[in-house]
Structure 1
Amino acid sequence: MTKPLVSIIISIYNVAPYLQRCLDSLVQQDYPEIELLLIDDGATDKSGEICDEYVANNSLIHVFHKVNGGLADTRNYGLQQAHGEYVIFFDGDDFADIRYVSTLVTAADSIKADITGCGYYVEELDRYETTLSRTPNPFIDGRYTNMTFQQIPVDATVIQILGYTWNKLYRRQFLQQQQLSFEKGLSLIEDIDFNARAFAKAEQLVFIKTPLVYYCQRPRRTLGSAANYERPFLLRQRALNSVRELLTQWQTPTGLVEQTVSTIYVDNVKSYIIMLNQSGLSKQSRLNKLIEIMNQPDNRYFVKQYQPQGWQGRLVKFLLQQRRGGWLLRLEQLRHS
């Protein structure tokens, strides 16, 4: 019986030091029916050259060089080039277990799932690219239909479920039929927005507990234009509404829905602060942009609903409530230096 083809779309932007490890881990998969679509999003380092070297030696690989458009644009472009029954969206600085694709396909084929997800490792690096830790993040385990989605546990786990695309296998026909694509301008939260809309349309889901992907968390992880911090923050509120609608569809209690959405909001603010600190803007310009966010009407509501874990989370909540932008910039700078 012929195995289904899997298209792995790899978004690449200035990840030359990590790209070989990423590509080797995918080329060496124990599942033979794959095509690797390397989408060079206008990288200014040697990433594009590395892509060209790999395509010359491997018929599974196809390279596309394009003008920089950001992560969402890169994934949408890759999806247009894909031929597989299934699609994976991968990032050029992460890498995978050799069983990654085969395990996901076996699980998906068991019920013809629209979306299949697995656990992952977080590999934390310092600014010198030294590995500080490698922490497993197991997924929930189980099969769900649109009649049993309400049984999916909604806690910190749901953020893991919705937060990433690189640990998921999507049925391409499902994405096409539902006209699902990544929304441009949602820097930092495009995965959550895409997954919330996709999960709301899905009829069959499979989750695998086993961690099979290595997500590299480093101080200057770059997957798109350096100007991402300038994209309108308000656009991201639509992504939060997508999450709210999905959890309501899953019959999640209202209080828990709002806690979950608020956690995503605050995490997004923290990521925004990190990007501001890496933007090269003056201290006053960074402060002005952060104050603009904190003065938005939704900020007070989300921060009030936010239920932090640990003293650092409580400190961030206090500083957001008091609108202490300067302290927030310094706090996040220290935590990610």
Structure 2
Amino acid sequence: MDNKLISVIVACYNVERYLDRCVESILGQTYSDLEIILVDDGSTDKTGQLCDCWAGRDARVQVLHKANGGLSDARNAGIKKAHGKWLGFVDGDDFIRSTMYERLYEQRTEWGITVCGFETEKAGERNLCPAIDAEMKPEDSVNLYIGNELQCHYSGVFTYFGSYSWNKLYDHCLFDCVTYPKGKKYEDMYIIFDLLHAARKVHFISSCEYIYVQNPDSITHAGEIIHESLFARIKQKEQLKRYWGKIDSRMDELVACEYFLILFRYSFLSTAEQLKNKETAKWAWRNIHQIGYSRFPLKMKLKSLLFMYFPRMVRGLRHIYHLR
């Protein structure tokens, strides 16, 4: 295993519109000791051909063509093929700043994870999501997690660490006993605390180096009232309890938000669909109260009441708003 080599795994599925920008951003890194593994996950467009073209243009690019198995399966396949001491992930429809891997590599540690901020891009507009907030002290930004002890130096730990794989650099060893769960959506959320538990140190850098493109083509939840993100959050809560013996209040809030989103989606269903999902809405409402309804902001309380008991009024207001 090459101790200086960073293996960047790019899972690709029907991203012909975005792939060139993605690969160009990786090959243009100021840190050049890279291995780029393009995993074509059974694409039905020209993604596979584009991958092969890039392999022919730069010796650092390798291509793995495989039958479609989903994002988790593609990443696991890429990890098995990787030769680098360090691992990074980029989704095929996203791109990165030229300094990302140089800056992450500068803060690397054995059995460690380095985290940078990111930007979200939707319809040409961008929003910053920094990895460090104004309340963090400089020493906190160096090692928020040490050994097997979870150190919550500030309340936004889960927000700023994020349940994403792609804005981080990992010691390859962390994946010796951790794999992405095949067939699951929100795969990052299922394993992020497994990786944190295995890591000896986690570093944060303040700059936003990754650009996450919110691609409308990737929306897969039409008509679903319960998203798998809820079960992933519940899994995270179990992991926190198992690994560190305590549950941060922020995690309870994140789980409550998932139940809140069920009520939100319920309010926009047709009357017939609401009748079919009435018990699900009641179940979500009970769980919100069980977690601690009284501690939520007043605005959130009022919205949840409207979504639960006055869904027709919510739909009517939404219709009026769109007519204006």
> TM (normalized to structure 2)?
0.78
CA contact (8 A) 1:192 1:243 kept: no
Worse-matched range after superposition: 81-90 or 284-293: 284-293
Distance 1:229 1:85 in 2: 43
> How far has the Cα of 1:283 moved from its partner?
7.0
2:192 alignment partner, SS class: helix
Worse-matched range after superposition: 249-258 or 46-55: 249-258
Q: 1:56 to 1:162 in 2, by over 3 A?
A: same
Q: Which residue of structure 1 aligns with residue 214 of structure 2?
A: 217
Q: Quick one: percent identity of the two aligned structures? A: 27
Does residue 9 of structure 2 align to residue 17 of structure 1? no
> How far has the Cα of 1:123 moved from its partner?
1.2
Q: Which residue of structure 1 aligns with residue 304 of structure 2?
A: 317
Alignment of 1:177-256 (within 5 A): 179-187=177-185, 189-221=186-218, 237=231, 239-246=233-240, 255-256=249-250
CA contact (8 A) 2:240 2:247 kept: no
Residue identity opposite 2:308 in structure 1? Q
Q: Which residue of structure 1 aligns with residue 105 of structure 2?
A: 105
Q: Which residue of structure 1 aligns with residue 113 of structure 2?
A: 115
Larger radius of gyration: 2
2:217 alignment partner, SS class: coil
Q: Which residue of structure 1 aligns with residue 135 of structure 2?
A: none
Distance 1:114 1:238 in 2: 23
Does residue 254 of structure 2 align to residue 260 of structure 1? yes
Q: Which residue of structure 2 aligns with residue 128 of structure 1?
A: none
2:126 aligned to which of 110, 120, 134: 134
> How far has the Cα of 1:323 moved from its partner?
8.5
CA contact (8 A) 1:3 1:33 kept: no
Q: 1:68 to 1:161 in 2, by over 3 A?
A: same
Unaligned runs of 5+ in 1: 126-130
Residue identity opposite 1:48 in structure 2? G
Distance 1:14 1:288 in 2: 37
Does residue 60 of structure 2 align to residue 68 of structure 1? no
Unaligned runs of 5+ in 2: 133-140
Worse-matched range after superposition: 285-294 or 68-77: 285-294
Q: Deviations over 1:48-105 (max 9, x none)?
A: 1111111111111111111111111111111111111011121001111111111111
Q: Which residue of structure 1 aligns with residue 286 of structure 2?
A: 300
CA contact (8 A) 1:13 1:42 kept: yes
2:23 alignment partner, SS class: helix
CA contact (8 A) 2:148 2:199 kept: no
> How far has the Cα of 1:166 moved from its partner?
0.6
> How far has the Cα of 1:245 moved from its partner?
3.3
> How far has the Cα of 1:36 moved from its partner?
0.6
Distance 2:313 2:111 in 1: 47
Q: 1:308 to 1:142 in 2, by over 3 A?
A: farther
> How far has the Cα of 1:152 moved from its partner?
3.6
Question: CA RMSD, aligned part only?
Answer: 3.8
Q: Which residue of structure 2 aligns with residue 80 of structure 1?
A: 80
> TM (normalized to structure 1)?
0.75
> How far has the Cα of 1:181 moved from its partner?
0.9
2:64 alignment partner, SS class: strand
1:163 alignment partner, SS class: coil
Distance 2:298 2:17 in 1: 34
> How far has the Cα of 1:4 moved from its partner?
1.1
Q: Deviations over 1:205-236 (max 9, x none)?
A: 111111111111233336xxx69988x95695
CA contact (8 A) 2:40 2:48 kept: yes
Distance 2:240 2:148 in 1: 14
Does residue 141 of structure 2 align to residue 154 of structure 1? no
2:126 alignment partner, SS class: strand
1:50 alignment partner, SS class: helix
Aligned residues: 307
CA contact (8 A) 1:248 1:257 kept: no
Distance 1:270 1:8 in 2: 39
